[in-house]
Amino acid sequence: MNNHASREVGNRSRRCLVLGGRGFIGSHLTRALLEQGFQVRCFDRPQSAVRGGHEIEHPDFELFEGDFVNPLDMQRALEGVDICFHLVSTTLPKSSNADPVFDVETNLLGTVRLLTQAVEAGVAKVIFVSSGGTVYGVPQAVPVPETHPTEPVCSYGIAKLAIEKYLALFHQQHGLDYAVLRLANPFGEGQRADAGQGAVAVFLGRILRGETLEVWGDGSVIRDYIYIDDVVRALILSIDVSGDERLFNIGSGRGHSVNEVLDVLERTVGRRAIRRYRPGRTFDVPASVLCIESARRSLGWAPQVEFDEGVERFAAWMKRELAEQSLLAVGGYSD
């Protein structure tokens, strides 16, 4: 038996719960876990749309529907689980300040309740997706290491940071193992072009549909973009990571300005973007790029998909999706 096959056999004895398993990251993670031999339980809201197309049919797959803030639903979902991936968020960075009470009541209190129930259920490890773009606040220097001061300027980032602290507390008090992955800006197949976040997806969708897109400021704002397959590899590697390090930045380690992103999208699809530049927003920091050396060292992880290649894959997928929906602008495109 080769190493891959023996690893699959070993994984089959472990059940992973993916909270938010029908979402963009969750759907990719669920499929990857099944491919590696894990038993996978997906938890999401009833009637939530399946990202990437189709419901999963697999003997090791379970679908649980419920409400993250309902203790009975979570108790049922956690039963018999070894590893819990926490990908749920009820707010967005740009809108969280409008109702911080809702942010705290749903995300923070909901997670503290989850951790309490995880201890009671005998869960071995919780892996939490945090936000590399918000927990640090305005970067003092880039790339930003995990040791950088954390001064978030939105409720979303404050709640993410508080959850990280509670994970450390539950580890200290109850022995609950954990890992925190502070993600940059993930993009790729399955990401919605009409959502309130995800610049690559939103811009790509508007270019393909021939619609005007808005750029806040002069387009010089720099962000770190990471392809979804690289995110999923980091999540899976964090299952068995050992040592004292439990907090990892997950990004490309490189920055792209908004104008550079648009240039790549235009070259990829062979169509010009209709850009409308608007006054800059006060909460948009000039540059945010993550230092990923801790993940290289402790997880043995590094991004494998370059930005341009990821965009090509994503664009090919979105073209097919929009063509099926008959939403492509008149004039089409050429492959």
What positions carry a catalytic annotation? 156
Strands 256-257 and 222-223: antiparallel
SS3 275: strand
> Which residues on adjacent β-strands are paired with residue 179?
127
Q: Which residue has the tokens 């891959």?
A: 4
Q: Please state, in angstroms and rounded to a whole number, the distance separating the CA atoms of residues 247 and 148.
A: 12
Q: Are 19 and 118 in contact (CB under 8 A)?
A: no
Return the DSSP state at 96: G
Tell me which residue of 193, 197, 225 sits closest to 209, measured CA to CA.
193
- Residue 293 corresponds to which amino acid? E
Q: Please state, in angstroms and rounded to a whole number, the distance separating the CA atoms of residues 152 and 158.
A: 6
Residue 133 burial class via C-beta count within 10 angstroms: exposed 0-12, middle 13-18, buried 19 and up:
buried
Q: Are 275 and 262 in contact (CB under 8 A)?
A: yes
Q: Please state, in angstroms and rounded to a whole number, the distance separating the CA atoms of residues 317 and 320.
A: 5
Return the DSSP state at 8: H
- Residue 61 corresponds to which amino acid? F
Q: Are 303 and 237 in contact (CB under 8 A)?
A: no
All residues at 6 or more sequence positions from 314 whose CB lies less than 8 Å from its CB, including other chains: 187, 188, 189, 191, 200, 201, 204
Q: Please state, in angstroms and rounded to a whole number, the distance separating the CA atoms of residues 282 and 210.
A: 29
SS3 190: coil
